[in-house]
Structure 1
């Protein structure tokens, strides 16, 4: 069971905070399973209600719509990943150690929370762009700031090329982390990883991750 802490969240009603922790987690557990298995469009809030053993009336007293329930999960799952990356940054010796740990963290997050990754992948599609707009004030704010600051600090310390645009570099790094993360939670991206890297190389994941880190650093290290 994936436990998600709902806080600072504009997508649920106050009544959801007031119900029992057991009921909150049951609703979220069922909703995560349904959204991850069926996708947003094919998931019914009535099915979630039935499988969570609560009335549809109770469900609507917690969330105004299926969309709000979905966004509650996406919003908090994203901040869960951001918390992990913050912990990595705070416990790293320097930018080189941090990048290495972020690559590993991306894989471990995908393996530990495959359903959350599938849901996050779903919201990145054009079909759900009307929903993702509602997350625009929160979605993917922490990670860019973290990476920008990490790169800027490394530039100030003379550890990476001062000509690097930290915003562009952060964008490229985040795309690498995200694609690598999806490669352990989506069948499509798993096959894509095999095509590019080769199934035999995946038997030595440490070597693969070392190559990813070396690729990133080669573009950044001061020459």
Structure 2
């Protein structure tokens, strides 16, 4: 399958001094911040605790980031970059739209399992309480998946695999909502329980079958 072209929007929320420090120090800061934001949420996270866990002074931390908000958004932005790479690889290696959808479902699940803290932070920023922060990511927030899905749907139309009269943006929106809720179902206790209520313990033993069933549902709607 052809690789979709995504806009390369580079955003930097850290200061130049952060790039100039050692890789070890950068990792310590980001790991400590990710741990705190994921565990406590943005509002309850203390910048003082992050500096202590990073073994650096408050002054040093503020020389890297202008505010707690910038540190938080830097982590969110890095998570988006990571997901963008994963999704581009999925699109590149998929045979057709249905293979791509199944691979994207698996990628969403694997991302949630492998990076539970990043997924929790992403869940946090989707809340209304943090909507002012999301505005600062407006030129990148949620642009990755829509552009990718619209490209996949457009290509599938050209290949005659799906209905020609489908609205690409509406279908991509519906599909993305499925991916998002599915991803949260493997990192958030609330969504995990919700998945269990709907599917039952026995059904959850066969994840591959669940994902194939979701693909069948989408296929029935667009084919």
**TM-score normalised by the shorter chain: which range applies?**
over 0.9
- How is 1:1-223 mapped onto 2 (pairs within 5 angstroms)? 8-221=10-223
Q: Give the whole-Å Cα distance in 1 for the aligned partners of 2:57 and 2:199.
A: 49
Question: Could you tell me how far 1:10 is from its partner in structure 2?
Answer: 2.3
Runs of 4+ in 1 over 4 A off after TM superposition: none
Q: Which has the higher contact order (CA 8 A, sep 6+)?
A: 2
Q: 2: CA distance between counterparts of 1:20 and 1:114?
A: 26
TM-score, reference length from structure 1 = 0.94
Deviation at residue 67 of structure 1 after TM alignment: 0.3
Match of 1:4 in 2: none
Distance in structure 1 (CA, Å) of the matches to 2:167 and 2:78: 30
Q: d(CA) in 1 for partners of 2:46 and 2:120?
A: 17
Report the CA distance between 1:96 and its aligned residue. Answer: 1.3
TM-score with structure 2 setting the length: 0.94
TM-fit CA distance, 1:141: 1.1
Aligned residues: 215
CA distance in structure 2 between the aligned counterparts of 1:44 and 1:177, rounded to whole angstroms: 32
Which structure 2 residue ranges, 5 or more long, are not aligned?
1-8
After superposition, the CA RMSD in angstroms is 1.0
Supply the distance in 2 between the matched residues of 1:220 and 1:76 (Cα, whole angstroms). 33
Name the residue aligned to 2:3: none
Deviates more, 1:184-193 or 1:7-16: 7-16
Deviation digits for residues 39-84 of structure 1 (CA, Å, limit 9, x no counterpart) = 0010011110011100000000000000000000001101211210
* Structure 1 residue 8: Cα displacement: 3.6
The 1-side partners of 2:182 and 2:165 are apart by 27
